Structure 1
Amino acid sequence: MDALRPIDLASWPRREHFEHYRERVPCTYAMTVDVDVTELVEALHDTPIRSSVAQIWALSTVVNRHDEFRTALDPTGTPAVWDVVHPSFTVFNPDRETFASVWSPHHDDFATFHRAAAAVIDRYRTATSMAPQDDVPANSFDVSSIPWASFTGFTLAIQDGWDHLLPIFTIGRYRRAGGRTLMPLAVQVHHAAADGFHTARLVTEVQDLLGSPDTFTRSAASAARPAVTATAAPR
């Protein structure tokens, strides 16, 4: 069972910043960056690895490295940190032109994650409800994709969303520029949880991970093996 561990407020360096952006000036901010995926796209061509799953795993891996992106409020409203958070992502149903929001457990091993997440996508690609799974954990963060359009800016306006501290990601369509393949990535962050420094570090680490395709291609043979079941693997 994933634990939500209270933060020691007396020794927390972010206490003053948290209280400022949670109580006095509650706000979120968004950053949109271009992630260079040139080598990744070339490396995954003609392999069984799904680039969308690689993107989600890279985000989940980096998010789980840093406490500030696993910060949430416990039932008393006190800031706390999850031991691990899991990605929730969208699956498009082209016949209905609607999406389903699904999740798969985070795994440090990419091949393990790929098998589980790909099975979830295949199972729910024809889902007719927005939330077809009944076991979505509280410690999940959102990843959405807009593969039909590229963008240079993207912001969510969440009404009364001041209690939502986990990050939200939106991925856009690849575009070519200067001979490189770029992936738009928007990150929405609650300022009480993280500052610009933390978000800049996050996107830099995502770039480093997606810019190192060996991490993914080493798992190509393993990722191609079918999952045992068509449901998310147990946590």
Structure 2
Amino acid sequence: MIFHKINLETWNRKEIFKLYSNDVPCTFSLTTDIDISSLIPKLKEKNIKFFPVILYALSYIVNCQKEFKMNLDKDSNIGFYDVVNPSYTFFHKDNESFSNLWTEFSENFEEFYKNYQKDVEIYGKNKSFIGKPQIENNLFNVSSIPWTTFTGFNLNLKNGYNYYPPIFTFGKYFTENNKILLPLAIQVHHGVCDGYHVAKFINSLQDFINNFNF
């Protein structure tokens, strides 16, 4: 894991970054539906869990786009990691609470799936908010609300204007016009990411899911 510090003076986003980080701090969110019609039958056929597959798909596309790997280092310098890992909420049904776990990303699905299963087995019963200790800062966030669907979602973070990793939230998938759709909310910092990059991410994610095979 390597952090690449960005030279602000030569960065083509210098003015945009300073504007949306200092002058008019700005984050934005977008909610869309991802078509998972081709994915669900494959999961049922292979008896594979839904959540880690979506987690893998998000992680794969995040790691393909520099704008989604942005963060600050310990000295508050903006930059990006060569690889980022998903940090996700793990629900405890017995007391209706959740913990944060994270799993090391691998481009190989089988390896990632095993990493996820191992993390859940080791840390899944830990009801502390930080279920698995965070070693590095190369994380992005994923939450799920599998009990309901939604058409809009936004997180209001007091210190969110200094937070640069993306935040993903997906809901309960549903059927509409013979399609199985998954609501997905994407929240980003406008200093490092524009609507173009979010649209590029959504299109890449949809293509990835359409063509995903185990």
TM-score grouping bracket, smaller chain normalisation: over 0.9
Give the aligned partner of residue 98 of structure 1.
97
Question: CA offsets per residue over residues 106-135 of structure 1, 9 Å max, x none?
Answer: 101111001111222233333221112223
Provide the rounded CA distance (Å) in 2 between the counterparts of 1:174 and 1:21.
Answer: 34
**CA deviation after TM superposition for structure 1 residue 136, in Å:** 4.1
The corresponding residue for 1:181 is 180
Offset at residue 95 of structure 1 (A) = 0.5
| Deviation (angstroms), 1:160 | 1.8
- Consecutive unaligned residues in structure 2, runs of 5 or more: none
* Local SS of the residue matching 1:133: coil
The letter of the residue matching 1:132 is: G
Greater Cα offset, 110-119 or 166-175 = 110-119
Taking the aligned partners of 2:35 and 2:121, their CA distance within structure 1 comes to 27
Deviation at 1:143, TM superposition (A): 0.3
Tell me, yes or no, if structure 1 residue 130 matches structure 2 residue 129: yes
State the percentage of identical aligned residues.
35
Equivalent position amino acid for 1:39 in 2: S
Looking at structure 2, the residues matched to 64 and 166 of structure 1 have their Cα atoms a distance apart, in angstroms, of 12
Q: Is the 1:144–1:169 Cα contact (8 Å) retained in structure 2?
A: yes
Q: Distance in 2 between matches of 1:115 and 1:48?
A: 14
Q: Tell me whether 1:168 sits opposite 2:167 in the alignment.
A: yes
Q: Which whole-Å CA distance do the structure 2 matches of 1:209 and 1:101 have between them?
A: 26
Q: Distance in 1 between matches of 2:167 and 2:131?
A: 20
State the Cα RMSD in Å.
1.3
- Residue 16 (structure 2) pairs with residue 17 (structure 1): yes
In 1, Cα distance between equivalents of 2:48 and 2:136: 26
Corresponding residue for residue 227 of structure 1: none
Q: Is the 8 A contact 1:93 1:127 kept in 2?
A: no
Question: d(CA) in 2 for partners of 1:8 and 1:119?
Answer: 39
1:199 correspondence with 2:206 = no
Contact persistence 2:123–2:132 (CA under 8 A): no
Structure 1 stretches (4+) deviating beyond 6 angstroms? none
Q: Partners of 1:174 and 1:124 in 2: how far apart?
A: 27
Contact 1:103–1:136 at 8 Å: present in 2 too? no
**TM (normalized to structure 1)?**
0.87
